[in-house]
Structure 1
């Protein structure tokens, strides 16, 4: 359960009768909530401190190679059971990439992926696209900002640079980033802002910017360093057609989502066209944007009830 610059508390922002984490627990599931490395509850390291430059030298490639497999294995070791995985946004990207590499699928029963992201080439978010097109994250990285703290100097410079670009309206930042969410109330947004956003690595933002510009789901592009890192001039691609056809998947996406754009989702679906028909559930909500899937007042009946019905069949 991962999202860029957010931690696991995202799943607990809604009241207990509407929060997916509580709903799952009330329906007999043992719920484990993951936190992305670098956020408040995931700052530990065996040898490095968050004050160390090297601590932040990672992108979502490392979440795929290390963090998600370690999480799956830990939960399996503790419970003795296979896992139903729920991811949103970055949590779906990491999952798709891991599934394409057959990582830890032996520990997985099914996956529900909300606002699914594998491709970002057609993403319309004005903030994210302008930042990518103007290499804002790369400029911060080159200026030796390794930690991207949304409340720190790097983020202020980031927003200044993006919001000064023609055609970018930063009056309503959440909408400019996620799309116009249909179903958030102001009190939920206030609670969200009390806890989020949180730090990520600047290198992670560079990697996402590469995806936006290139339209590919590939490993981090080190440019002249690709031969050293990968033994080839271009970064390896995560092959979505390698996701096992019999893996039970529930995908829910929204027509107003400015990050998980419908055209990009359809590109993903083209890669899953041979997926077993009884193992793939697609749900489309025309009015939903990115945050509605985790903070929307109507998400319980619109998304979570069908999601739990899917889990019960697996």
Structure 2
């Protein structure tokens, strides 16, 4: 029979394992509920979610594919709640693992190719796969892998198909991806890594549909687009200064997506200056450096290979830049009252996000300022920030940087492999890499408390055992296992 000391050792090992790894329990589907502290505008959003759930409309088709380095992978078709057919790539690691699945999420007008086209020595996806993680690559509606809908044809019904912003991608596409991954694994939580707008999707989902906070173990956001009190590209800021007029003008010329399909012959090479379908807005396309944003490195990419997404994504971002806030879609005063119960669009309630999150930024980023990143993190309950040390590190360097493994990814891998215990901030203060001491004992995770109890019991039993061995024959303790103590 196992001794008391042996039991304590087992308890200590198990609780310490739970502190380091996310829960490896069978996932059971749950219905989305509305948190009691959720704002009225959020409740209205959840109540207006599609009455018919299309997530099973694709029959979840899976096919085997080969990646460019020769390793195996699978491509999974899934459906969003509002009917878009999405595609995810799963790297098929051959290593047995007890590690959480990891979801990698691309940025604005990009696709999963951004992670798969990295040099192998600098690849985050391949490094995670080599370490035994179950790696999934996300694709948002409207990119080249997600060009279908259960009701709308993307080219014939382009206004309906492209009627979405990054809010719908976060609340519908990302939610569907997370639920699908959990349904295909034995885990209750996943890790999340997003770049640029890929970080924004995470912020939108977990601030509006708060149940999803329980489905993420750790999150790493690389230069997420949120607050924009300052933008370094003043030319772009000037071009986007009147997003309402810009949106109306694009609608008048029947332009609803980046690189509109009808503006080109399908196999024609792209002209980046015309990403919005005409010379009128070429300055916007040039200032955006649209090819670099989309990861286009050669000049012979056709329309089928470079599909980006809805122009509403760009307009929503422009609204935030103009208003210097991170808020929901601005319909205009009259419609805002109907949708949000107020004339102004409400800001995303970032304080509803409870996932342990690390936001990585560069002071030299040309898309989002470091001061705005720190302000964003300050609104979140469990967020810390990390500054990239390399000078002149730009927004696209988070994917294309020559030394990105050294500058960013190695830190993410280290945090995943050797996580530190969660410690919450006090009074909303935030520092790089470290967080303040907990305000109370209840702020410490249960797994950490259980581990502490296990350690203390282990020390206590060890002391008692040691003392017993020093007793003489007339003492009250037995010196050997199974020997009765003297009276």
Question: What's the TM-score once normalised by structure 2's chain length?
Answer: 0.55
Q: Does structure 1 residue 21 correspond to structure 2 residue 125?
A: yes
Counterpart in 1 of 2:327?
218
The 5 A counterparts of 1:232-271 are: 232-244=342-354, 247-271=355-379
Q: Report the equivalent of 1:109.
A: 217
- Separation (CA, whole Å) in 1 of partners of 2:395 and 2:299: 14
SS of the equivalent of 1:22 reads: helix
Q: Whose helix proportion is higher, 1 or 2?
A: 1
Q: What 5-or-longer segments of structure 1 have no aligned partner?
A: 179-187
With normalisation by structure 1, the TM-score equals 0.83
Shift in alpha-carbon separation, 1:306–1:229, aligned structure 2, 3 A: same
Cα deviations by residue, 1:90-144 (Å, 9 ceiling, x for unpaired): 1111111222232412221111111122212312224532331144344213433
- State how far apart, in whole Å, the 2-side matches of 1:197 and 1:124 are: 27
Distance 1:66 1:189, change over 3 A: closer
Relative to 1, partners in 2 of residues 1:189 and 1:127: Cα closer, same or farther, differing over 3 Å?
Answer: farther
Q: How is 1:150-161 mapped onto 2 (pairs within 5 angstroms)?
A: 153=263, 155-156=275-276, 160-161=280-281
Q: CA distance change for structure 1 residues 115 and 197 in 2, over 3 Å: closer, same or farther?
A: farther
Q: CA shift at 1:281, angstroms?
A: 4.8
Cα offset for 1:156?
4.9
Q: Distance in 2 between matches of 1:189 and 1:7?
A: 11
Q: Report the 3-state secondary structure (helix = DSSP H, G, I; strand = E; otherwise coil) of the residue aligned with 2:240.
A: helix
- Identify the residue that residue 79 of structure 1 maps to in structure 2: 185
Q: Distance in 1 between matches of 2:173 and 2:321?
A: 23
Aligned 8 A contact 2:255 2:277 in 1: no
Q: 2:141 corresponds to which residue?
A: 37
- How many residues align? The count is 294
| Aligned equivalents of 1:58, 1:200: Cα separation in 2 | 9
Gaps of 5+ in 2: 1-104, 264-273, 420-487
Query: For residues 45 and 176 of structure 1, what CA distance do their matches in structure 2 show?
Result: 26
* Greater Rg over alpha carbons, structure: 2
Q: Partner of 2:203: helix, strand, or coil?
A: helix
CA contact (8 A) 2:275 2:290 kept: no
- Tell whether the 8 Å contact from 1:226 to 1:234 is kept in structure 2 after alignment: yes
1:60 aligns with 2:174: no
Contact 1:10 1:192 (8 Å CA) reproduced: no
Instruction: Tell me: CA distance 1:221–1:78, structure 2 relative to 1, closer, same or farther (3 Å).
Output: same
Alignment RMSD (CA, Å): 2.9
